[in-house]
Amino acid sequence: MPPLPSHPSLQKETAMTQQTCLPEPTNLQRAQWAKNALAVFTAETYSGDQPDTMHPDDLETAIGDLISDLLHLARYHPRMDAAAIHSHAIVTFEAEIAEEERCDCVDRSWHGPYHRPQGEKS
């Protein structure tokens, strides 16, 4: 994974994650977590619409709005750097996609177990 932007809270979080050495969730699991968060967001901001029933254009807009609002949250937090968080998120997203492409896991289902990347011991 490329180095993180130099923001203390991001580096601390990464260090804590690396120390635990837990298997990583699948990207499908990550997507489900995001969908759950998006459902709460759209219930509040899109007249109660749910991601499963939204028009694809509205769904894309809602995803962008949620990302934007999360960056606003970071901007108003006294010890957070929204630009660094955004940069870190893009780097993490790209690394997780690359990891998935290298993964030789049998089960990548929505409800499958956490997996370990190729070459990593249990």
Q: What is the pLDDT of residue 3?
A: 39
pTM: 0.67
For 44-106, the DSSP string reads HHSTT--GGGS-HHHHHHHHHHHHHHHHHHHHHSTT--HHHHHHHHHHHHHHHHHHHHH---S
Cα separations in angstroms, 28 against 2, 34, 96, 107: 22, 10, 11, 11
What are 83-116's pLDDT values in tens digits?
A: 999 999 999 999 999 888 887 666 555 444 555 5
Q: What is the pLDDT of residue 69?
A: 97
Q: What is the pLDDT of residue 118?
A: 52
> Which residues are paired to 3 by β-bridges?
none
Q: What is the pLDDT of residue 63?
A: 97
Q: What is the pLDDT of residue 5?
A: 44
Higher pLDDT, 69 or 18: 69
Q: Collect all residues with Cβ–Cβ distance below 8 Å to 102 and sequence separation of at least 6.
A: 117, 118
Q: Collect all residues with Cβ–Cβ distance below 8 Å to 29 and sequence separation of at least 6.
A: 110, 112, 114
Q: What is the pLDDT of residue 1?
A: 32
Percent of the chain exceeding pLDDT 90 equals 56
| Packing angle, helices 27-45 and 56-76, rounded to 10 | 90
